[in-house]
A and B are shown apart, each in its own frame.
Chain A
Amino acid sequence: MYLSRKSSDARSIFNKAMTILAGTLVVVALIPLLAVLSYVLIKGFGRLNLDLLTKLPPPPMVPGGGIANAIVGTLIMVGLASLISVPIGIGSAIFLSEFSNPTTAQWIRFATNVLNGVPSIILGVFAYSVLVVTTKTFSAYAGAVALSILMLPTIIRTTDEALKIVPQEIRWASLGIGAAKYQTVLQIVLPAALPTIVTGVTLAIARAAGETAPLIFTALSTQFWPNSLSQPTPSLAVLVFNFATVPFKNQQELAWAASLILVLLVLTTSIISRFALRRKTY
């Protein structure tokens, strides 16, 4: 009897009140998510048709049109960025988990985390000064370089984690039957970690596709089809930014539709990766 606590006790009331308060805070944190997702769905869904995916953005006051050039531009730049960042990222992660000593690994992981915290607009400034200033033109290259730096930390982290999970025994087994180190890594360890690595890369790609800041003054934007990698290139994210503030209803609708595409992309990859990462084979 001495051990029971009355529910009218001040401590119990405080306990209950705090629980309710903390629960409310979670709800408060989730309201914006629901608000943003529902608005993007409602506003963007009306324009989700074939024209959107196949036509160019119309001039002001002209109805219809689509955002096909921006979709192609985003695909080109994110593809190019992946070509740069995936090999370098996986290479770095292999070095971190397989070949480096703990101190070096710790420093490089530190650098990776710090790079992850660098504002994306600074990456744009960097690409601008390295590529736009020297070549004197805004280009898909410059945009892709900025995006590739943005993707690197995510790829390194997930690959690093994936390689760490692979049990030490299969490395020993491989080396024991006479395989060289590069054979062990490329033919035994990497395939075992592949699903997780692919997930990480997909996440990085989805995030990069939605990034605007590194592109607005490296790739710029155009109203036309992208026809060369060394010319200004449109992208979905920059299109949303440009069309969000114009006073034309049609353009605003296209901005919502482009947002919907970006959000769906991020949403599906996040959910898929969630399930893929949970199912660990080892």
Chain B
Amino acid sequence: MTSHLAESTPLIHAKPSLGQVLDKTFIWITRICAFSIAGVLVLIAIQVGIEAIPAIKAFGLGFIFQQQWDPVKEHDGITGIYGILPMIFGTLMTSFVALLLAIPIGVGSAIFLSEDFLPVSFRTVLVFLVELLAAIPSVVYGLWGIYVLIPLIRPLGEWLHEHFGGFFLFGTSPSGPGLLPASLVVTIMILPTITAISRDAMTSLPPELRQASIGLGGTRWETIFRVLLPAAFSGIVGAIMLALGRAMGETMAVTMLIGNSNTVNFSLFAPGNTISSLLANQFAEASGLQVSALMYAALILFVLTLLVNIAAQWVVMKVQKF
């Protein structure tokens, strides 16, 4: 009997070796693809870093505190003085003004669209429309800003300057392009980020929280302010940080609206510049040390947005676990 068993051909064959080889190859190809994503991030950092080395050697950390950006001026035997203090100021200023406006509007919309104020079908349409704001190309916002937004806010700016000119934010008379129109367009562009992610954070809260609060006699808005918002707080913070990352890197619309003048001026109506606008304006015609200085600026922007993004992702990831 035993010999008979041993001689019989097995019913299930081992897979042919070709199939196994193909399997291994296939898995390795997909693995390489996946790791190339992380690779690209590292490669961007290395590549931009290497190109920035000449400028880093020439200017060091002073690059961040230097106010002048002049590619033709002779200085210490090198051509050109490069510093990006005004651009860092402009980047932070536009981002913070935009956040200041976008946080109340975005979180307010998120609350309204996550609670059952409206029938579900109508709500879905509104959510879709808010998300559509993110789909419109940046350059279209820029074009719209030049021909619609700037003329529209000019009378308001003039009125504010005339009556409250002493206040540092309204210190100069509106000159067309400036920090305010740029910040307003950035506000529009980061609104969908804040609304969508805050809304996700609110809708994924366990329904028991809401039921318990209503059951204890809380009104709808008491429930929102004392129970739901605190519970969704970290998700909302993540949303705001992601929006900050987007605001700092936003390029085209800002370039078209900010006026591109390398000055540090706190007035909302004064023209300014951002790191990304500097890159957009100067890269195509740059040569020599200027390219390296631009790479240095790009490296600073990359590191800033990377830090903000990693922190935001980390917060959002923590929330999703909960």
Spell out A's residues near B (CB within 8 Å).
5, 11-12, 14-15, 18-19, 21-23, 25-26, 28-30, 32-33, 35-37, 39-40, 43, 87-89, 91-92, 94-96, 98-100, 107-108, 110-115, 117-126, 128-130, 133, 138, 149, 152, 156, 178, 180-182, 185-186, 206-207, 210-213, 216-217, 220, 237, 240-241, 244-245, 252, 255-256, 259, 262-263, 266-267, 270, 274
Contact = CB atoms under 8 A, between A and B. Distances in A.
10 residue pairs, one from A and one from B, having the closest CB atoms: A119-B249, A210-B137, A91-B33, A25-B108, A95-B30, A117-B309, A182-B26, A217-B283, A22-B112, A95-B34
A29 B309 contact: no
B63 interface: no
Contact of A114 (B26, B195, B283, B309): B309
Contacts, number: 266
Interface stretch (B65-73, B77-85, B250-258, B264-272): B250-258
B41 A111 contact: yes
Contact of B144 (A36, A180, A211, A237): A36
Contacts of A152: 37, 40
A249 B128 CA distance: 35
Nearest to A5: B219
B140 interface: yes
A138 B131 CA distance: 34
10 contacts: A25-B105, A37-B136, A39-B147, A94-B30, A118-B302, A121-B249, A122-B298, A212-B137, A245-B256, A252-B147
Contact of B146 (A130, A156, A245): A245
B41 A21 contact: no
Interface residues of B, number: 91
A211 to B, nearest CB: 7
B143 A256 contact: yes
Interface stretch (B15-23, B157-165, B166-174, B200-208): B15-23
Interface of B: 15, 19-20, 22-23, 25-27, 29-38, 40-41, 43-44, 47-48, 51, 104-106, 108-109, 111-113, 117, 126, 128-133, 135-144, 146-148, 188, 191, 195, 219-222, 224, 242, 245-246, 248-252, 255-256, 276, 279-280, 283-284, 291, 294-295, 298, 301-302, 305-306, 308-310, 312-313, 317
Mostly, the A contact residues are helix
A14 B226 CA distance: 14
A99 B30 contact: yes
Nearest to A262: B137
B136 A263 contact: yes
B310 A114 contact: yes
Contacts of A92: 30, 33-34, 36-37
Contacts of A133: 51, 291
